[in-house]
Structure 1
Amino acid sequence: MSARLIINLPVAADDALRWSLCSAFGDVLTSGEGLETFALPAGTTVSATIAIIPAGHVHMRRLVMPARSDNAARQAAPFALEEYLATPLDTQRIACGAADESGARWVAALDASLAERWQNALEALAIRPVFAISEALLLDPAEGELALAVHVSSLLWRYRAGTEDAAGSIPEALADMMIPALIARHQPSRITLAGGEGNDGLQPGQLPLHRTGPLDPVQAAASLDMAQLQLMPALFGARLAASLDWPALLKPWRRVAGLAGVAAALALAGIGAEAAWLAGEARRYEEAGRLAFAEAFPDTRRIVNPRVQLAQRLRELEAVDTGGAGFLPLAGALAEAMQGMPGIEIVAVRFEAGQAALSVSARYRSFDDFEALRGAGEAAGLDIADAGARQGADGVSGEFVVRWRE
């Protein structure tokens, strides 16, 4: 069964909250005082919590504000209420409700310390959504009427006409003086006078009277239309006014989200480390390619892209490799002459196209190896001329030129 929880908020800090659980028809199912006594009957769910604020401690008024958005209306609300308040704005908690079809909004001001204390109590109850309403707004006058009712030790009043809807309370001792002022200000067409104890002495003047039964705030709050409640300002914060407590629902997932964030950070760190390693390997391979190209072509002064430069060198060799004086025939003849000579190691070969000769850098164990190579070259039709050599600890490093014998 669905029910509404009605809470009467106490002004004194020592007083307990009075609560009532009501059916959709306003019948009180159960009630009590103090949060410790509250318990939901089996099979009962609360569709809404309505917090009744003593009218003497809250100012609620329906105003038309030139605001294009809810945020702009919230910013304008303090200035719209300032002329109606007798207390400094910095001592008040001010809230603004949603606009209705006419563009009017409910704007409310409540003492900030009271609002804080009541909000803490309502959050401890943890039943949402919570709607706050002045007990004076529980009066229901017709269009153009001024509704009055004595409640506890004050006189509640509410006037409604067009977009104007204002309510409040007057100390009972000042009723005779304040009622004529209310009538003069609002010019009501008639007065609705709630019956019951304390109302017989009210003298609203010569205006028509419409008597009703005594005001029962709990029953009146339980019977309020949900659309009307949703227009009320969220005096106790948007979290309490929401149907779902999203922070509480998401709390169990915070740790999961944190672990997922840590895992993502570690994965990104691993990817970054791998990318750095691959970049280092690429640089090492590039440097090795440069060194190999420099050894193969020592005459090259600037090495930018070994792959491209090697292809360019091959194209140059192919372009000049014509007839028997080309690079390939000479290189092939030299390779054939070196067969059976393991003591000779070719370090670099450079083709001199203008001279139709090979300039060769080599290492060999002794000068006898070079003489043997020269003899084998002569037998193959080659002229191998010494271009310089030097003796080292690990053998001879020499240069020689290879061309065809004339």
Structure 2
Amino acid sequence: MAEFVVIRLGRTSADAVEWIAVDDNGTRRGAPGMGTLEQAAAEIRGRAVIVLVPAIETITTTVNIPIRGGARLRAALPFALEESLAEDIENLHFASGLRRANGELPVAVVSIAKMDEWMSALGDAGIEALRMVPENYGLARIPGTLSLLVDRDCIFFNDGGDTEFAMQGARPSDALVATGALAERSGDEEDDDQEADGKGHLLAYCEAEDEARFSHDWIALRHELDSVDINLLADGVLPRLAVTVASGNGVNLLQGAYGAKTDYRSQLRPWRGAAVLLLGLMVVGLVGKAVDYNRLVQEEAALKARFTEEYRQIRPGDTREVMDPVNAVRSIKQGLGASTGPQVFLPSLRQLGDAMAQNTSARIENISYRAGVIDVRITSPDVATLDNIQKSVSASGRFRASIQSTDQVADEISSRLQIRETGS
């Protein structure tokens, strides 16, 4: 379970900041505090920091563009929102959150000057933020429910879907009218619609004084909506906002130029010893390979010199360099009359004899042998018998028999069968 210190910046640099410790399960881990940024920094105590920035300084919206993320998305956001922004996009910083199920991408926009001001103030206090989130994202989105939070002269609102914003100097009903959740109607229209269905459920958060201040608004809203549930914030607004953003809600403004820089040196430092050991093993392995290769080269040269010396003794008149010792030995054997015939001829005769024993109606007329190939003249009563002999000879796998020719002689078949070693 991760713990965070959530720091809420004031609307101006002169305003006090608020802080509270929470965990990612939405549980408060301490009482709220108020003071300077330096005092807030003293309460961090090694925990990650989430900074809430004033909602009135940011624009929160959604956009649907078919770019997954990264630098390309950050480059496309300004142009996708340019027409809906009053300020030049060159002066604005854009950040996006996780794409929602309907394909919409939550986006937060803030001036670069404000971002620089906030980052400078945090840096001066020695605070390094993990996330920086517009504070109105602290109002949780509940599908099918209108949610509203009163913070002094500001109203935070979301419709449970893709509409999220903050209004300054407005009443709760103004926020609902702005989104179309509550229509402004004349008296006649109200009479006509008295029996109409309700228009939704409102979940509101405010302090006790705000409940009293907007009492007439709450009464009017209860007439217009199915239900209005008001939750009083005994410890102020911050605890409600903090537990929501600590669970991962909201768009992190620390992206692009303000994103965290990866410190590769510190990440690799724990692996330095292992890397040195691995490098040493690689060097030892390469040295061993080089020694083995050099030894094999020397052995090859010695064997080649010895073979050449003995070859010259057998063939003193051949002064050519011996490139292929195997062919040289074969040539010597052929010159000395050595033959591989017996190793082929006798086993092939044995295989042929077995085949003839299985087909006694056939007889051998003639056998000849030349260069590892046996030609057999066979007389058989029919072609089927000849085919059986061919298959029987080939069945061993060592020899391959093929029918070269067949002739009809009286009532018999005279054929020539050729037998050779498989692969020759």
TM class by shorter-chain length? 0.5 to 0.7
Aligned partner of 1:232 in structure 2 is: 250
**Is the CA contact (8 Å cut-off) linking 1:25 and 1:223 kept in structure 2?**
yes
- Residue 221 (structure 2) pairs with residue 208 (structure 1): yes
Number of positions where the alignment pairs a residue of Structure 1 with one of Structure 2: 301
Change (3 A) 1:119 1:280: farther
Once the two structures are superposed, residues 46-97 of structure 1 have per-residue CA deviations (whole angstroms, 9 ceiling, x without a partner) of: 5x7432111122222244x254845586665444433333333344332222
8 Å CA contact 2:139–2:241 kept in 1: the answer is no
Which residue pairs with 1:223 in the alignment?
A: 243
Q: Which residue is equivalent to 2:37?
A: 34
Per-residue deviation, residues 147-204 of structure 1 (Å, max 9, x unmatched): 46353xx53442415x33221343x4xx59xx96x66642232886946379949998
TM-score normalised by the chain length of structure 2: 0.52
Pick from 181, 185, 207 the counterpart of residue 188 of structure 1: 181
Partner of 1:285: 302
Give 1:304 deviation, angstroms.
Answer: 1.5
The aligned counterpart of 2:328 is 309
Query: Equivalent residue of 2:250, what SS?
Result: coil
Work out the CA distance in 1 between the residues paired with 2:167 and 2:27: 27
**Residues 299 and 36 (structure 1), Cα distance of their counterparts in 2 relative to 1, 3 Å cut:** farther
| Matching residue's letter, 1:34 | L
Question: Separation in 2 of the partners of 1:270 and 1:113?
Answer: 59
Flag the 1:76–1:197 CA change in 2: closer, same or farther, 3 A.
same
- In 1, the alpha carbon distance for the partners of 2:311 and 2:29 equals 100
- Asked if residue 262 in structure 1 is aligned to residue 262 in structure 2, the reply is no
Q: Percent identity?
A: 15
User: In 1, are the aligned partners of 2:139 and 2:244 still within 8 Å (CA)?
Assistant: no
C-alpha separation between the residues in 1 aligned to 2:49 and 2:165? Answer: 21
* Paired AA for residue 93 in structure 2: R
The aligned runs of 1:69-80 (5 Å cut-off) are: 69-70=68-69, 77-80=77-80
Which one has the bigger strand percentage? Answer: 1
Aligned equivalent of 1:93:
93
Amino acid at match of 2:150: A
* Aligned equivalent of 2:150: 149
Structure whose CA Rg is larger: 1
Whole-Å Cα distance in 2 between the matches of residues 217 and 208 of structure 1? Answer: 22
CA contact (8 A) 1:4 1:49 kept: yes
Closer/same/farther in 2, CA of residues 193 and 225 from structure 1, 3 Å limit = closer
Q: 1:26 to 1:205 in 2, by over 3 A?
A: closer
Instruction: State yes or no: 1:165 paired with 2:163.
Output: yes
**Structure 1 residues 111 and 265: CA distance shift in structure 2, 3 A:** farther
Asked if the contact 2:134–2:251 (Cα under 8 Å) also holds between the matched residues in 1, the reply is no
Unaligned runs of 5+ in 2: 183-198, 223-227, 340-424
Give the Cα–Cα distance (whole angstroms) in 2 for the partners of residues 3 and 82 of structure 1.
38
CA spacing shift, 1:100–1:251, aligned 2, 3 Å: same
Deviation of the 1:216 alpha carbon: 2.7
Offset at 1:270?
Answer: 1.4
Q: Distance in 1 between matches of 2:29 and 2:305?
A: 91
Offset from partner CA, 1:225-278 (integer Å, 9 cap, x none): 76xx4342332259x999xx9969844423124314532542354145335524
